[in-house]
Amino acid sequence: MHLNQNKLLIGYYIILLALIFVLMRPNSSVSLVTRLGLLGLIFIPVVLRLELLPFVFLSYYGISAASFTPVLPTMPSYYIIIITVLYLIYDKKSYFLAKAIGFLLYFFVCSLFHFDLNEGLSWGLIVILISDMIKNKKDIQRLFYSYLIISIFLSLLFLIHKDSFITDYRISSTEEMERMGWINPNAFGAFITIGAILSVAHLTKMLKFEESKILNIICTFTIIITFLVLSLNASRGALLAFIIPSALMLLFSNVKLWTKILFILIAAGIFIVLLNNGIFELLIIRMQEESAETGGGRTTIWINKLVPFINDSNIFELIMGIGETATNKLGSNGGVSTHNDLVTAFIAYGFIGLILFIYLFIIYPITKSSPKIRLSIAIIMLYLLIEYCVLEPVFRGYIIVTMFYTFMLKYVLIVSNAKS
């Protein structure tokens, strides 16, 4: 009966996923009644099996938050209420909740002190509650499937409606290049990259997931379609975050040499085919227009924020920060965010905040991993480090990326503590 229930729930969610795909069309709107109805359809079955909550939430919120039009409500208040209620009736709570809140308490206190508690930290409560429900390898495996679903779903959506996303890009001495679409291209690239990164980790055996030929085929498809969309999307940060860790995983993996050579030949073949078909046109244009010296404008933004903060702040502000609202207003490009979580951590939360951020969001999962998997974890964490430096996913509340951090942390804690 338990097996039949699993099959029924899988079939149910596949049908629901297809319905959401149909509803997602360019320049369309979904009524609030429909969106709330879908929200109910998604979470009602979870009550029957509460352990499915992380998988269900991540899959459907991830898709809705990065598509043409939200078909699910995306306001934190909806999810804080729903997930808090479900968590309260969940009977397998642990000390992870207290530990996570303890780690993040400094950022919450500073935000209250600066009177600018932001959406990124609001989402932190949801991430913590859901992460506490990830207990074993099955839960890890389900989140792995969630990221595959997100990558494939959004990549297909992009390809089907590509003209509505890349509607205009031009370059001249007087005009700036424009990419127009439903979401920040850099955020979109970061979201779909995770499934591809995990697919590479699975195929190179850098992370241990359930083995099956079908899963290998799905992972291969995820890598190919994600790389195609990343190239069309032309987000250089997302491409770097995918290519560098993937290359390192292949290089340091224990797969046979002939398999590595085969992977390289396949990747080279795909690259040549895409190049000959003009797939990299937008990416090449962006690289030519925005010089490597400025990093596409990123380094200019960081300097314009850091220099006045360091020069004009007193010792207390250097230690405790000036808050995110003041950070965004700082410098000659006031009103622009830092586009860098590390810079935000330093300016908004001071030197203490920067140290805590680096330790918590970069070093901690690596130090908690066993020596056997430490290299794998460090390579995959490189994806997050790159995104921290170009996107500001933590402080701007990109929950898909932040959940990947907790995914990696839970993988480390569960696998490292496993006897086998």
Number of neighbouring beta carbons within 10 Å of residue 12: 13
Question: In Å, how far are 79, 94, 97, 376, 400 from 129, measured between CA atoms?
Answer: 11, 10, 7, 26, 15
User: Rounded to whole angstroms, how far apart are CA atoms 102 and 94?
Assistant: 14
User: Rounded to whole angstroms, how far apart are CA atoms 220 and 256?
Assistant: 18
Q: What angle do CA 129, 143, 97 make, to 5 degrees?
A: 20
8 Å CB contact between 382 and 200: no
User: Rounded to whole angstroms, how far apart are CA atoms 7 and 223?
Assistant: 27
Tokens read off for 253: 């993996």
Stretch (H or E) spanning 289: helix 281-289
User: For residue 137, what is the DSSP state?
Assistant: H
Q: Is 95 exposed, middle or buried (0-12, 13-18, 19+ CB in 10 A)?
A: exposed
Residue type at 175? E
Tokens read off for 273: 């085919």
Q: Which of 107-116, 163-172, 226-235, 355-364 has the lowest mean pLDDT?
A: 163-172
* Block residue for tokens 């590509």: 162
User: Rounded to whole angstroms, how far apart are CA atoms 246 and 224?
Assistant: 13
Residue type at 298? R
Confidence of residue 123 (pLDDT cuts 50, 70, 90): confident
Q: What's the whole-model pTM score?
A: 0.86
In a 13 Å sphere around the CA of 393, the CA atoms on its Cβ side amount to: 25
Confidence of residue 144 (pLDDT cuts 50, 70, 90): very high
pLDDT at 308 over 90: no
Question: In Å, how far are 54, 158, 229, 298 from 153, measured between CA atoms?
Answer: 18, 9, 12, 30
pLDDT at 375 over 80: yes
User: Rounded to whole angstroms, how far apart are CA atoms 242 and 295?
Assistant: 17
pLDDT at residue 175 in the model: 46
Q: Which of 193-197, 258-262, 407-411 has the lowest mean pLDDT?
A: 258-262
User: Rounded to whole angstroms, how far apart are CA atoms 278 and 327?
Assistant: 40
Number of neighbouring beta carbons within 10 Å of residue 177: 16
pLDDT digits (tens, 9 = 90+) for 42-101: 888 888 788 889 998 898 888 887 776 677 776 777 788 888 888 888 888 888 888 788
Q: What angle do CA 243, 245, 247 make, to 5 degrees?
A: 65
**3-state secondary structure at position 1:** coil
User: Rounded to whole angstroms, how far apart are CA atoms 125 and 406?
Assistant: 12
pLDDT at residue 420 in the model: 43
User: Rounded to whole angstroms, how far apart are CA atoms 162 and 38?
Assistant: 26
Q: Which long-range contacts (CB under 8 A, 24 or more apart) does 97-102 make?
A: 97/128, 97/129, 97/132, 100/128, 100/131, 100/132, 101/128
User: Rounded to whole angstroms, how far apart are CA atoms 124 and 147?
Assistant: 19
Residue type at 332? S
User: Rounded to whole angstroms, how far apart are CA atoms 117 and 102?
Assistant: 17
pLDDT at 194 over 90: yes
User: Rounded to whole angstroms, how far apart are CA atoms 382 and 314?
Assistant: 33
pLDDT digits (tens, 9 = 90+) for 12-24: 888 888 888 888 8
User: Rounded to whole angstroms, how far apart are CA atoms 143 and 150?
Assistant: 10
